[in-house]
């Protein structure tokens, strides 16, 4: 009398292999974030790093231009920023206009200190900045106060827009990147 025929190992492991393959496929289709999820934040790789820093630099150029023009909204559509950031900017410009002032800002130093990916399509850029600033009377551009300067660190929160370009979604002071503690005009 012969004993029970033992199935080969590959046949015994077949259900497990099929289940593992199906689970992997299902997770890739239904939970793509699970496969992509990593430890956040992590350093932003090139070319995204250069793009993100370039976006912040461009945003600051528009930022200074809006203040220098007294709030001319001509290029508001070109600003690489989310709607909330633009609203806050124009709230600031409106307040200055209503208090009969123009703020002239000049970016003297722009030193990116850190750029990290904080999630899918999200990044943060830490910049040490030095600004010269003076308030003027809008009618004749006569200075109201004296020239002053300041150095501070700012953290910019960026997210990818619908077209894939970076947008400044928020920004706030960050003591982690103070260039030089200055209170006076830089140059």
Partner 1 sequence: MSDAPPSRAARRAAVAGSPPVLLALALPPALAAALQASLRRPVAAALDARATWIWAALLASALLAGAVAGALARRWPGALARLGLLVLLVQGAVAWGWRFRATGEVGDGGAAVRWLGIRLGPWARPPALSDFEVDPAARVRLRVEGHPLELADGASGRAGGVEVRVTAVGAAPQISAYWQDQLMDQTLVPVGSGEDGFTQLGRLPHRFYLSLPEGPRLADPVGPPDALRVHVERGKLVLAERLVQRGVPAELDHVLFRFDEGGRWARLEVRRVVPPAASVAALAGLALVVAAAVVALRGARRRG
20 binds partner 1 (CB under 8 A): yes
Nearest to 123 by CA among 64, 46, 60: 46
Residue 76 DSSP one-character state: G
Query: Looking at 15, 77, 162, 181, which residue binds partner 1 (CB under 8 A)?
Result: 15
144 binds partner 1 (CB under 8 A): no
Give yes or no for a contact between 155 and 124, defined as CB atoms under 8 angstroms apart. Answer: yes
Q: Which is nearer to partner 1, 48 or 107 (CB)?
A: 107
Q: Which is nearer to partner 1, 20 or 180 (CB)?
A: 20
How far apart (Å, rounded) are the C-alpha atoms in residues 10 and 69?
75
| Contact region with partner 1 (CB under 8 A), list: 49-57, 71-79, 148-156, 159-167 | 148-156
Query: Looking at 9, 91, 164, 187, which residue binds partner 1 (CB under 8 A)?
Result: 91
Question: Cα dihedral angle (54, 72, 65, 56), rounded to 10 degrees?
Answer: -20
Tally: H helices and E strands in the chain: 4, 5
Q: Which residues are CB-neighbours of 33 under 8 A, at least 6 positions away?
A: 120
152 binds partner 1 (CB under 8 A): yes
Counting residues that bind partner 1 (by CB under 8 A) gives 34
Rounded least distance, CB 27 to partner 1, Å: 4
Give φ, ψ of 159 to 5 degrees: -140, 155
How far apart (Å, rounded) are the C-alpha atoms in residues 9 and 119?
43
58 binds partner 1 (CB under 8 A): no
Query: Looking at 1, 5, 9, 16, which residue binds partner 1 (CB under 8 A)?
Result: 16
Rounded least distance, CB 34 to partner 1, Å: 5
Q: Which residue's entry shows tokens 């806050």?
A: 88
Query: Looking at 3, 6, 39, 142, which residue binds partner 1 (CB under 8 A)?
Result: 39
Helical H segments across 1-160, by residue range: 9-30, 32-36, 48-68, 83-98
- Positions touching partner 1 (CB under 8 A) are 12, 15-16, 18-20, 23-24, 26-27, 30-31, 33-34, 37-39, 67, 88-89, 91-92, 94-95, 99, 103, 105, 129, 131, 133, 150, 152, 154, 173
């Amino acid at each position: 009398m012969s004993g029970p025929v033992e199935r080969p190992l590959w046949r015994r492991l077949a259900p497990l292999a099929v289940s593992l393959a199906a689970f992997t496929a299902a997770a890739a289709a239904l939970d793509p974030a699970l496969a992509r999820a990593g430890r956040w934040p992590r350093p932003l790789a090139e070319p995204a790093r250069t793009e993100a820093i370039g976006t912040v630099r461009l945003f600051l150029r528009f930022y200074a231009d809006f203040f220098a023009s007294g709030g001319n909204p001509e290029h508001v559509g070109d600003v690489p920023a989310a709607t909330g950031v633009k609203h806050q900017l124009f709230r600031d410009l409106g307040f200055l206009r209503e208090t009969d002032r123009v703020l002239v800002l000049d970016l003297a130093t722009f030193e990116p200190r850190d750029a990290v990916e904080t999630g899918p399509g999200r990044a943060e850029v830490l910049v040490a900045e030095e600004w010269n600033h003076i308030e003027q009377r809008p009618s004749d551009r006569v200075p109201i106060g004296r020239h002053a300067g300041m150095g501070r660190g700012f953290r910019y929160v960026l997210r990818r827009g619908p077209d894939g370009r970076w947008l400044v979604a928020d920004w706030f002071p960050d003591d982690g990147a103070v260039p030089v503690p200055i209170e006076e005009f830089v140059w």
